[in-house]
Structure 1
Amino acid sequence: MKPSTPALFVLPIVASLVAAPAGAVPAKHPDAHPAATHRAAPHPAAETAEATAAPADPERLALSREIVDVAFPTGEREAMFGGVIRAMLDQLRANAANQIADAGLRTVVERHIAGLPERLAPVTDKHIPMLIDAMANAYAREFSLDELKEIRAFAGTPAGKHYLARNTALLADPHVEAANQAYLNEAMQQVRGDQGSLRAEINAYVAKHPEARPKPPAPSSSQQPEGR
């Protein structure tokens, strides 16, 4: 009934870090192609989604907001999102411990991952209201008025409140964590296996299209040579 929004929120963070432990393991070609470190322009989807999505029916939207408020009670949202982020990053940190042979390097990576929740907290808190609003609008577009009424009625029962409030927290259940860890272990193996072919494909493309090679950033005014 309810997607795990905090989990979806943290997936890009996890995805961006998945290759980090792998990259820390000595390899034949440890240096990534410059294109891999090029900062991409902000994706326009986030800016245009609200403009392109069909407006939600007001009555359906009102019910959707009530459902989301039960799932993510005001005053508890930051803790709920933060808890899921910490649980998923703990799994990533455990995976790093298994993948990085050098103890010192492993400590560096683990320390970086351990500090992510605190560093991300301001960004997370800033975006939670937008995510909650987006969820409500998505519910209103996905479900009919009658369906929303049924969901809202369920949300008003003790079982419904328990389900909606705890569904996301169950990601931290030991059995779920173990299943996620097994998935992450295998996914990282796949990512490492794909790195070589991706690098080769990027190199081949840039060789044919040199204009696609990332341009070095222009020096700032403080970096301009003096005396000119």
Structure 2
Amino acid sequence: MKALATALLLAAASPALAQTQPPAASAPAAAAPDPARLAVARELADKLIPQGMYQRMLGGNFNRMMESMVGSAAEIPMRDFAQMGGMSEAEVAALGQTTLREVMEIYDPYWQERQQRMMRSMMGEMGKLMSTLEPKVRVALARAYAREYTLPELQALQRFFATPAGSHYARSSMELMMGPDMAQTMAEAMPEIMKQMPALVQAAQAGTKDLPSPRKAEDLTPQEREKILKLLGAKSAPPAKK
């Protein structure tokens, strides 16, 4: 269940975290945005990501959303998970309608409280981390806006954000993505997502079927093993005694 909760956490948090991820090392450097556009875009970014936004967003609302998603996932029949794991149709059918919750309550009578505490602790720490990244996120968002929108468009947004409705929208738009309505929709979607997961796994496997299978440790040459040891900072294994 801990692995499930962590997977759900990463899936739900990915839109927010994606804003802070650096571009791939191989991506060409983008040209500097127009200074006039950038000046206006910075004002917009400050309004869209006000100080402490991530702390608030990853607090109550996100906690409730994650607890709702985990709770919904717990009601998914075990056969859906088994099908993902590659069990045969006969084995899957034998599992009946037994849910993840029923199994976990036997393994760990405190599993629900444990998940809630774990989620709150993780969200608290993630909120602190994201708060330290807010300045960088504002810079990135400003540059993105400066490239995407023309100066007249940016100025139109600036005028809108100066109105009561625009100000309200700017400071709340991102937090609403973690609100109760989104939480309910995400929770309701979990059973369907799990049902579709075997097909998604098959599609992923089909996308790599023409590639050679990954090698195992025993397939490596002594030189390759030595290279890996050096890369990992480990000492060479002593030669086997004859």
| Aligned residue among 144, 154, 161 for 1:148 | 154
Q: Quick one: structure 1 residues 90 and 12, their matched pair in 2 at CA, closer, same or farther if it must change by over 3 Å?
A: closer
The share of aligned pairs that are identical, in percent, is 25
The residue type paired with residue 69 of structure 1 is D
Q: Quick one: structure 1 residues 44 and 180, their matched pair in 2 at CA, closer, same or farther if it must change by over 3 Å?
A: closer
| Aligned residue among 18, 32, 41 for 1:64 | 41
CA contact (8 A) 1:96 1:110 kept: no
Give the TM-score normalised by the residue count of structure 1. 0.62
CA contact (8 A) 1:57 1:140 kept: yes
Distance 1:223 1:120 in 2: 38
1:168 maps to 174
Matched, 1:76 2:72: no
Mapping 1:27-42, distance limit 5 Å: none
Q: Give a deviation string over 1:135-161, Cα, whole Å, max 9, x none.
A: 111100010000011100000011100
2:79 maps to none
Count of aligned pairs between the two proteins: 188
Residue segments in structure 1 that go unaligned for 5+ positions in a row: 1-10, 18-42
CA contact (8 A) 1:87 1:171 kept: no
CA contact (8 A) 1:64 1:139 kept: yes
CA RMSD of aligned residues (A): 4.1
| Aligned residue among 165, 168, 185 for 1:159 | 165
Residue segments in structure 2 that go unaligned for 5+ positions in a row: 1-6, 14-20, 77-99
1:45 maps to 23
Q: Displacement, 1:166?
A: 1.4
Mapping 1:1-228, distance limit 5 Å: 13-15=9-11, 45-47=23-25, 52-73=29-50, 75-83=51-59, 85-99=62-76, 100-101=100-101, 102-103=104-105, 104=108, 106-107=111-112, 109-195=115-201, 198=204, 205-207=211-213, 210=215, 218=229
Tell me which structure has the larger Cα radius of gyration. 2
User: Bigger CA drift: 194-203 or 163-172?
Assistant: 194-203
CA contact (8 A) 1:64 1:140 kept: yes
Q: Quick one: structure 1 residues 221 and 179, their matched pair in 2 at CA, closer, same or farther if it must change by over 3 Å?
A: closer
Q: Displacement, 1:115?
A: 2.7
The residue type paired with residue 95 of structure 1 is S
Give the TM-score normalised by the residue count of structure 2. 0.59
